């Protein structure tokens, strides 16, 4: 499942020639095209994309389903999680990872038991070696700096449990205090004091969801570089030309 509804404006939109961020080109392909190709070559048996008319025109013949987008990001997230009417495992991908590859996805999916909720995590030092001079990325957690990736594994029969918490985090994503409050009072305090660890977050997620939760360390930096700003896009185009 790939979400591709994000819009940009101003200089960013003018630079890429579209307001649909997923259709920004890096080299000879769009970021959405790179994501579809990586997912297919990593073994995805069905691919659906959440997006509008531009997305349908760009990739309707490359995927199995186009899910109509909403103006609400939270609604788009819900539609992504419920795109298929069965409860098979789901690989959820964002569409703004210009360096994503099938190998990076395979390495991630082979690093945890398939019954776990999982997200890739890259150490900042490894990220900076792969992308020297990149715009700032990463967050400090428990005395270390990490960059989380734009891929999420949701195990079979877990989507309903994940949906409620995922939407709450989405709605709080622009407010660190609101996101911290979702962790509960103890973790919220430890977060404020910069003493929360990744292991503690894994345990809390498992407690809330009733399924194992894993932050997969050592994930490929290619899953961690995403494009949210014009600066990040400009760097990606230059880095792509170098490689």
Mean pLDDT of the chain: 86
The listed range with the strongest mean pLDDT (138-142, 171-175, 227-231, 237-241) is 227-231
What are the tens digits of pLDDT across the range 198-235? 787 788 778 888 889 888 999 999 999 999 999 999 99
Percent of the chain with pLDDT over 70: 88
Q: What is the pTM of this model?
A: 0.87
Higher pLDDT, 175 or 50: 50
> Would the pLDDT of 161 be above 90?
no
pLDDT band, very low/low/confident/very high, at 172 (cuts 50, 70, 90): low
Q: What is the pLDDT of residue 173?
A: 47
* SS3 label, residue 139: strand
Q: What is the pLDDT of residue 74?
A: 79
pLDDT band, very low/low/confident/very high, at 170 (cuts 50, 70, 90): low
* SS3 label, residue 52: coil
> Would the pLDDT of 195 be above 70?
no
Q: Alpha helices of the chain — where are they, by DSSP H?
A: 10-16, 31-41, 53-59, 73-81, 102-109, 124-130, 159-171, 176-181, 185-192, 198-209, 230-242
Q: What is the pLDDT of residue 205?
A: 77
Q: What is the pLDDT of residue 141?
A: 76
- 166 to 41, 107, 139: CA distances (angstroms): 27, 24, 19
Task: Report whether 226 contacts 232 (CB < 8 A).
Answer: yes
CB atoms within 10 A of CB 199: 10
pLDDT band, very low/low/confident/very high, at 55 (cuts 50, 70, 90): very high
What are the tens digits of pLDDT across the range 68-90? 998 887 788 888 888 887 788 99
Question: Going from the N-terminus, what domains does the chain have, and what CATH number goes with each?
Answer: 2-242 (3.90.550.10)
Range in 36-45, 95-104, 135-144, 186-195 the model is least confident about: 186-195
Higher pLDDT, 35 or 200: 35
> Would the pLDDT of 187 be above 80?
no
Q: What is the CA radius of gyration of the chain?
A: 17
């Amino acid at each position: 499942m790939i979400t591709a509804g994000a819009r940009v404006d101003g200089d960013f939109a003018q630079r890429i020639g579209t307001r649909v961020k997923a259709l920004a080109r890096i080299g000879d392909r769009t970021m959405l095209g790179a994501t579809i190709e990586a997912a297919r070559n990593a073994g995805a048996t069905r691919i659906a994309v959440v997006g509008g008319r531009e997305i349908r025109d760009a990739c309707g013949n490359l995927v199995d389903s186009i899910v109509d987008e909403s103006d609400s990001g939270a609604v788009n997230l819900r539609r992504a999680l419920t795109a298929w009417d069965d409860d098979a495992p789901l690989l959820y991908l964002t569409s703004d990872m210009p360096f994503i590859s099938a190998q990076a996805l395979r390495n991630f999916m082979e690093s945890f038991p398939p019954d776990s909720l999982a997200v890739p995590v890259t150490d900042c030092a490894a990220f900076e070696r792969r992308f020297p001079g990149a715009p700032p990325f990463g967050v400090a957690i428990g005395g270390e700096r990490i960059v989380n990736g734009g891929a999420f594994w949701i195990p079979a029969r877990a989507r309903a449990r994940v949906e409620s918490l995922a939407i709450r985090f989405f709605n709080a994503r622009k407010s660190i205090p609101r996101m911290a409050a979702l962790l509960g009072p103890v973790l919220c305090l430890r977060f404020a004091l910069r003493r929360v660890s990744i292991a503690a977050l894994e345990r809390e997620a498992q407690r809330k969801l009733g399924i194992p939760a894993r932050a997969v360390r050592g994930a490929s930096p290619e899953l961690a570089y995403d494009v949210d700003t014009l600066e990040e896009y400009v760097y990606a185009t230059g880095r792509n030309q170098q490689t």
